[in-house]
Each structure stands twice: as C-alpha cells, then as structure tokens.
Amino acid sequence: MKLNIDKYIAAGYSGIWISSLEPDATYLTIQKEVNILKQRTEMNLFKWTITQDWGQGNDPPLMVFDKPPASENAVCVLQYFHYFVNNPEICQRLLDAVNRGKIQGIHWVVLAPHEKVPAELEKYFLVLEDQPPSVDELYKIAYDFNAQERLGHTPEELMTVAEAAKGLGSNEAENAFAFSIAEKRKLDVELIKQLKVSSLKKHESIEIVCPTQGFESLGGLKAIKDFCLKSLMAMTSQKKAKPRGVILLGVPGTGKSALAKALSYETKIPLLNLNLGGLYGSLVGQTESNVRRALRIADAAAPCILFIDEIEKYVAGLASSGKTDSGVTSRLIGTMLSWMNDHESEVYLIATCNDFQKLPPEFSRAERFDAIFFFDIPSPEEKEVIWDIYLDYYEIEDRNRPNDSGWTGAEIKSCCRLANLLDISLEEAAAYVTPVARYADIGELRKWATNRCLSASYPGIFVGEKPPAKLSKRKIHSADN
C-alpha cells in the first residue's frame, strides 16, 4: 500500500481524511512515509484512539485538541475519529485545529472506514483511499513467513502464493498464511484460495463463485465459447490489447449465466459475482463508496471474471434517477461506466440481460464491452446435444422425447430432472414444463437483436430466427469437448 502522504504533508495539507478498513496497516504505511520526511525536516508522528490518547491521560474526544502532542512540525493521526465529528463542538474544534495547522505545521489525519467527510469539513480535508496490498507487498509477507518458519519455498513458489492471495488485506493475508502453515505446514496455494473465498463472503455485494462443471455441461453456443476463450487467453498474455468483456442478451434459460460459470471452470480464472443491489446504502454517499470498494476488490483479485446477472434490473431507473432516488442510481452506474472505460486490470466483465428495452445506450457504446451476444432458442441440432447431456446426467433410459418446440436448455433440464424426481416418463414430465416462449415476446427480442448483436451459436452477426447455415451435430459436440 502506498499513500504518498509524505508528499501531501510536504505540500502543506493540514487536513487529510483516509478511508481504511485496516487502520493498523494504514498507520504503518503513514509511519514509513513520515520517516521519509524526517530525512529533510524534523517531523514527529503521534496517534490517538478512543482507548489510547497522546500519552497525557485518557481524555475524551472533546479534549483531544486542548492538549495537542506538539506545538509544531507534527503529524497527528486520529483513528476512527469519524464517530465523533457529528458532534458540533468536536467538529468545530477539529476545523479550528486544521486551520491553525497551516501556520504551525501540524497535520491532522483522520482514519475512517469510509470516505464520507462531513459537509462542514469537506473543503478542508484531502480524501485518500487505501488500496489492497500489491502482489509485491503480499510476496514480502509470504517471504517473511517462509524465513521465520524455515519452510524452504522457492521465490517462484512464494510468487504463486502472493498471486493466490490477491484481493486480501494485509491482516487477512497474514491470517491466511498463518492458518495454512498451522494446517499444512507450508504455504498451500489451494488452501489460501479457499480462505480468500471465505474472506470475500464478508462483502455483501461481491462473492467468489466456485463452478463445478465446464463446457461439457453446456450444449451448443460454439461462437460465444470460442470468443470468450480466446479473449481470456489474450487477457493473461503479454499482448498490449486487453479484453473488456461481453454482454449476454437473450431469452431466459438459454445458458447465459451457465456460460459465465463454465468459462471460469474451463480457464481456471476466478469468477466474482457482483450484486449491484447490495451496493445501495442508506447514508448519503455510501452507495458510491460501496461500488468503488467492490471494484477495487475486483481489480485486486485480477485476473478474474466479474459477473453481473440481469443488469437491466439495476439500470432501468437511470433516466429518472434524479427524481426518484436523488441521483443515487445515476451516480452508481456512472461510477461503473467510468471504471469500465478506464480500468487497466485484468478483469473480464460479463453482464447478462433479458430485456434490451431497459438497457441504456451507454452500455452498448464501443470500448465498454467487446461485443453483445444474442442467445436465441436452441436450434434442433443444439437441442439434441442438450437432451443427451441431461438424459445421461439424470440416468434416464427413456429416450422418447416430448415435443420441445420453443424450449430452452433450462426447460429441457427441468423436464429430465422432473422425470427422474417423480419417476415418470419424459412425456408426462413435459406436462409440468411451461416454456418461456409462451409468455415472452421472443419475436420482438429477435427483431431488435437482428444485425445488432453477434450470435452466441454461430459465427458472425445474428440474422434472425434461422441461422445462415445448418450446424451439424458433430460440430456442436466438438465445441463442447
């Protein structure tokens, strides 16, 4: 982690607000960077917490500024002081201290778990955000464990460990390494990855998905499989051009979500599920802070696949956001769009969409996604493959398939599962299946996608209900295996 706080102090900032979920690790960074200043000028560092003050007695927050630890040339860190700044008198005293600090050379640093500065202090504080430790910093932590425990790991093995721990904070990484040593007597990459999954469960909006099946469980969809595989191979290569991701538009139940999971399984690249609904907060500015933190986690965990399911549900109110939610949705999506444009990390974004009418045009602009793929009702040849997959999976000997006109892959799976569950024939199980084609306006969806989207099943532009050339069963099987 690097804050460059030494440069901001040298520039004369007397009020600095740092958003950090690991205050102890952040304080160590501040300590190192203030020591850089000591090479040029005398600068002392002091720390206050609610249980440990400047060393002059256990004074309450209101008295913090009555007994400053130094009269000049000092960095005063107030850990989790955000609890108290809503008190008018404490807020005013902090403001007065910051104004005096410009003259005295005293710099007040507030460590808080969020970046929302009270309105009264906004113009007086520079806001910084901590970043998860880099791979090099995680390598240093792993190196120290390796030396202390005499584990005998090579530098190459330690770098693999550091890569596996990407996305963890310093304390979380230390705990994961210590547990791995206690459990395995070594820094075990797989165990560290499992602990990272457990750690990310603390974040309500983002979680790691662990797929158990690859392309063999997904019939057809040759074009999208080939495209995404090539894109992810390029992402982890040394090529200058990096992929951005894809939008998967189409009929519900045609394999959009399953494609993301199978792709993660095939490439061994972690799949992070981002729940945009979980980013909304009740406090002013909390939603924007949450989305930035979630995207920082994704950046830190790169290379990874970031998955957003049914994105249209979250962006549908974008046009009226200013009237309905004080612009919260607009700012959330704006933050997302800016990140999609500017991020340089190896994060491959996959977003699914069932209703094109609710998808704002900003999302289909060039350079935000690599392409939009349309998932249609499977062709007869694709359905043959899908039937074979689920008949084998559910061990169904009855091969007399019912009329599957308009069925999706999910409906074929449902029919096979019910036949196995209820011990009935496929024809009887079909009576319990309601195809999405009966109630969804697939015709309008196809009409919109024609000449606008790429086909998920065959190479090139989607040209309507019928593919440009008949696909053989053998070709589809070759895509699955």
pLDDT at 478: 32
Q: What is the pLDDT along the chain (481 residues), one digit of tens a residue?
A: 678 888 999 899 999 999 888 888 899 889 988 888 887 788 889 998 888 777 655 567 777 887 778 888 899 999 999 989 989 999 999 999 999 999 999 999 999 988 888 888 989 999 998 877 888 989 999 999 999 888 999 999 999 999 888 878 888 899 999 999 999 999 999 899 878 777 766 666 788 888 889 998 888 899 999 999 999 988 877 777 888 999 999 888 899 999 999 999 999 888 999 887 777 665 555 677 778 878 877 887 788 899 999 888 877 655 555 555 556 777 788 888 888 888 888 899 999 988 877 777 777 777 788 999 999 999 999 999 999 999 999 999 888 899 998 899 999 999 999 999 999 999 999 999 988 877 777 888 888 889 889 999 999 999 876 665 554 343 333 333 3
Same domain? 101 vs 241? no
Question: In the structure encoding, which two tokens stand for residue 218, read together?
Answer: 């997904």
Pairing of strands 126-129, 271-274: unpaired
Spell 392-413 as b/e; 16+ CB within 10 A means b. eeeebeeeebbebeebbbbbbb
Domain that holds residue 146: 135-202
- In sequence order, which residues have a C-beta less than 8 Å from that of residue 37 and are 6 or more positions away? 6, 9, 10, 43
Same domain? 26 vs 115? yes
Q: What is the DSSP letter of 148?
A: H
User: Which is nearest to 302 in space by CA: 411, 459, 163, 400?
Assistant: 163
Same domain? 191 vs 313? no
Rg (CA), the chain: 28
Q: How far apart are CA 25 and CA 14, in angstroms?
A: 22
- Type of residue numbered 30: I
Question: In the structure encoding, which two tokens stand for residue 263, read together?
Answer: 């792709």
pLDDT at 479: 36
Give me the number of domains the chain comprises: 3
Task: Assess whether the previous peptide bond of 60 is cis (omega < 30° from 0).
Answer: no
Q: CA angle 333-336-338, nearest 5°?
A: 110
CB 332 within 8 A of CB 207: no
Same domain? 30 vs 160? no
Q: How far apart are CA 380 and CA 407, in angstroms?
A: 10
| Residue finishing a domain among 202, 228, 249 | 202
Q: pTM score > 0.85 for this model? A: no
CB 201 within 8 A of CB 278: no
Question: In the structure encoding, which two tokens stand for residue 418, read together?
Answer: 């019910």
Task: Read off the CATH number of the domain in which 11 is found.
Answer: 3.40.50.300
Same domain? 343 vs 242? yes
Same domain? 196 vs 139? yes
Same domain? 216 vs 177? no
Q: How far apart are CA 164 and CA 337, in angstroms?
A: 28
In the chain, what's the furthest Cα-to-Cα distance? 89
| Residue finishing a domain among 90, 109, 129 | 129
pLDDT at 203: 66
Residue 102, in any domain of the structure: yes
Residue 405, in any domain of the structure: no
User: Which is nearest to 20 in space by CA: 140, 133, 165?
Assistant: 133
Residue 463, in any domain of the structure: no
User: Which is nearest to 274 in space by CA: 212, 361, 332?
Assistant: 332
pLDDT at 326: 58
